[in-house]
Chains A and B, each alone.
Chain A
């Protein structure tokens, strides 16, 4: 008789992944244990025999790590493959399953990191920060609700799609339609991040020049720069940081330390002055 995974087992497997993919993280095995617990309910249902269970489970002892939200699609795909294997499909073995997992986790991590963590979350946070002006809780609440609904149902959809379509589920993500969509979302992200930077980041200089004997300075550098392009100094520092990281391959931490040095020197020469006293 053809074995078919029950809805209950699939649900349990999904929830195990949704919650447990990174709870037991180590640098050595990363998401491997999350993967094992999410496959466990499926394997228990497909194989009544303990020895078969052990064989099937040992497939998933191989190292696994990807972007967890988008990576749900891989778990879904392997659920489908495991079902096929239990039904005696001759072309599905340890090697096919692990080859597919190893082949997909890299690209999915790349797309996921730039799409979920690098674009979607920052856009939501950008909007939320805009709603939090003056210390209102509205923005934080907005973010909590929207992100969690999107994450839960998005992951659920990915799992189901992976299970039903198998390898074809990924075509959409890396196919030409997916690329067009990704490019557009990245553009949206770029514009929003620009607006976030201009609204929330404020770098200014206190540098002025006063002619001998005059009361008012003839040059207030900050105002002059802002009349050329509003937010000039902020934009310049962002470009500097980008250049150091992207072109000079510096780590964020090194850049931060460099900024400490720049600030210190800037304060010494009077370029920066927060002008505060107790």
Chain B
């Protein structure tokens, strides 16, 4: 699979839009274009193999299903996962002759994406640090009363940071990655220890993504029940995700109704007590 400079440049542009902090804003950039599922669609379209792109995107999406950046600390960089990791994983799959739809193909994609995503945090810190230069100019313009310059500082100058830390790295990595993948293939046989480990890690890594989410919603042991309820629906009963969501909505709705009833009940109870007080006063 060949990637031309133009294709690599388009991916570089999307990387600039999709990163956190990116030029697409968080709603359209980070939370839409930066999600590996959407990145898979875009990489697939750019590289001319949509279904492989999406399957690779889905595989990586699970690892990063809850990419929360509390207080701006990142453990992985979305632009690197979606616009360096996905294209290179697609190249690797083609080169190894694996189908993106198979468990092995997804394990390979996951390993690749996670590796690139973790290394990509360098890009995050690079962009954020370079933005300090523009912010410094911003403070000066406020002191001078030149307020309109704030627009340039907030929305235009950061493009320079992205040219250096999103566009160029993505373009070069994607372009140079293709011969690298072939090199790895020649030196590391698939039934060797290194590749076996790589595939195994790829199949286990999504557990981390799910666990990060669980960490957010589980505060006591009983909170695991909804999770295992959903797990059982899919694993034992074979119910698909859309149907599982509808079943889940029903339970959530019931829970909400019960909670609201409790609230109105306590509200009524207090109202009654107030009435009693009034009578006593009389």
Contact = CB atoms under 8 A, between A and B. Distances in A.
Interface of A: 18-30, 32-34, 36-37, 40, 44, 50, 53-54, 57-58, 61, 65, 68-69, 109, 113-114, 117-119, 121-123, 125-132, 134-137, 139-141, 143-144, 147-148, 151-152, 155, 176-177, 180-181, 183-204, 229-231, 234-235, 237-242, 244-246, 251-253, 255-256, 259-260, 262-264, 266-268, 272-274, 276-278
B62 A238 contact: no
A262 B41 CA distance: 33
A102 B223 CA distance: 31
Interface centre among A20, A26, A68, A277 (most CB of B within 10 A): A26
B75 interface: yes
Interface in B149-198: 150-151, 153-155, 157-158, 189-191, 193, 195-197
B214 interface: yes
Interface string B222-266: 010011111111111001111011011101110110011001000
Contacts of B142: 36, 54, 57-58, 61
Contact of B245 (A118, A123, A132, A259): A123
Contacts of A234: 207, 235
Interface string B84-114: 0000000000001100110110010000001
Nearest to A141: B41
B62 to A, nearest CB: 5
A230 B263 contact: no
Contacts of A28: 132, 135
Query: What 4 A-B pairs have minimum CB-CB distances, sorted nearest first?
Result: A194-B230, A135-B51, A130-B241, A25-B21
Contacts of A201: 62, 203, 206-207, 210
B105 to A, nearest CB: 10
Contacts of A278: 96-97, 189-190
Which of B40, B55, B228, B263 has the most chain A CB atoms inside 10 A of its CB?
B228
A252 B138 CA distance: 35
Contacts of B223: 190
A72 B198 CA distance: 43
B107 A274 contact: yes
B6 interface: no
Contacts of B65: 122, 125-126, 193, 196
Nearest to A50: B145
Contacts of A118: 66, 68, 213, 216-217
B210 A197 contact: yes
